[in-house]
Amino acid sequence: MARMGTVTDYLAGLKAPKRQVLEHIVGIARELAPGVEEGTSYGMPALLLKGKGLLSVLETKKHLALYPYSGKVLAHVAEDLEGFSWSPGTLRFSADNPVPDALVRRILELRLAELGE
């Protein structure tokens, strides 16, 4: 298993195609929030904005996951989550069925709004 460090270190330890899918999501986050820093939040490698968690993406045994560090964001886009497994704080997906870019952007934009950005 990849070591839990910064986002870049964590992603470097993953195998393709999962790594590319998660790197793509991180790339979108960096585009939308160019001031993000790498760190950890809740024990996960995370992108942080002003010290608060913006996003974490992880590989688990059964799926890939996106954590927006919010219990409200995914509920706001629930109508677009058909075909994905999700709970208030986690969106689960696979490399074969990645989260569409437009949905990733919407999730991140909602989280940025929560953070006052």
pTM: 0.93
- pLDDT at residue 62, as a whole number: 95
User: Using one digit for the tens of pLDDT, what is the confidence trace for 73-98?
Assistant: 999 999 999 999 999 999 999 999 99
Give dist(CA 71, CA 23) in Å, integer.
Answer: 23
Report helix angle 101-114 to 18-32, nearest 10.
Answer: 50
Residue stretches of the chain with pLDDT short of 70: 1-5
For residues 74 and 86, is the Cβ–Cβ distance under 8 A?
A: yes
* Type of residue at 117: E
Q: Where are the domains of the chain?
A: 7-114
Give dist(CA 65, CA 70) in Å, integer.
Answer: 14
- pLDDT at residue 2, as a whole number: 40
CATH architecture assigned to 7-114: Alpha-Beta Complex (3.90)
- pLDDT at residue 5, as a whole number: 57
